[in-house]
Amino acid sequence: AGAGGAGAGGAPSTVCAPSAAAPLGPREMQQALHDVSAWLVINSMRTECVQFDQLCSQNLANIWRQNAAEQLLEGHRSFKVRADAATSYVLEALGEAFVSAREGAASRQRLENKVLAIYFQSASPSADLSRALREVYTAHGPEGSQSLEIIYVSEASKMESFRANFCLMPWLAIPFTHAQRRARLRSLFQVDGACTLVL
């Protein structure tokens, strides 16, 4: 049977075509425009509310930071690190093991109840500083009043250079092999490479 022929029961077959949406009338079009405009306004208000909340939070944070900074400046003495805590921190950074050119290995017990001087030597040692330290160490070191201990922190990159400088020094030193300790001490006291003495 052709396209226009009868079906199995003899009745002509029909094809249902989709019905097209009816065009909006003037009232429906006006309502749709009102709905779209209302949706845009409501979402704009929500966005402005979020921005307002964020600005309020930032203003409160700024006020808190300003008050905290003023209190810190006014009462800076109460925020200072205690002397015993600072001493403990420095001793921990210095470590446990030291070396002496005369006695060999030494422990941190040599530092107890003494004034500590940390001698950071650069690649170009200062002969005047080394001479002055030797005089002070002779008077107040183990052979003198025993109230001072100097700790040598070398910047040498080779063991030969370290030994050449340290063999003439009567005080203690951070071992050459403890490179991380030496680097940590330089960073802690912000040594920029020049010969530096820290008391």
Cα–Cα distance for residue pair 31/40, rounded to 1 Å = 14
Nearest to 130 by CA among 144, 117, 143, 116: 117
Number of other residues whose CB lies within 10 A of the CB of residue 120: 21
pTM beyond 0.85: the answer is no
Cα angle 145, 146, 150; round to 5: 120
How many CA atoms are closer than 13 Å to the CA of 160, on its beta-carbon side? 0
| 185, 118 contact by CB (below 8 A) | yes
The answer to whether the CB of 173 falls within 8 A of the CB of 99 is yes
pLDDT digits (tens, 9 = 90+) for 17-74: 555 566 778 888 888 888 888 899 998 898 899 899 899 999 888 998 988 888 887 7
Residue bearing the bigger pLDDT, 33 or 8: 33
Q: Look at residue 8 and give its three-state secondary structure.
A: coil
Higher pLDDT, 123 or 171: 171
Q: Is residue 85 exposed (0-12), middle (13-18) or buried (19+ Cβ within 10 Å)?
A: exposed
CA geometry: angle at 73 spanning 69 and 77, to 5°?
A: 130
What per-residue string of b and e applies to 148-184 under the rule 16 or more CB within 10 Å gives b? bbbbbbbbbeeeeebeebbeebebbbbbbebeebbee
Round the CA-based radius of gyration of the chain to a whole number and report it: 42
Q: Is the pLDDT of residue 101 over 60?
A: yes
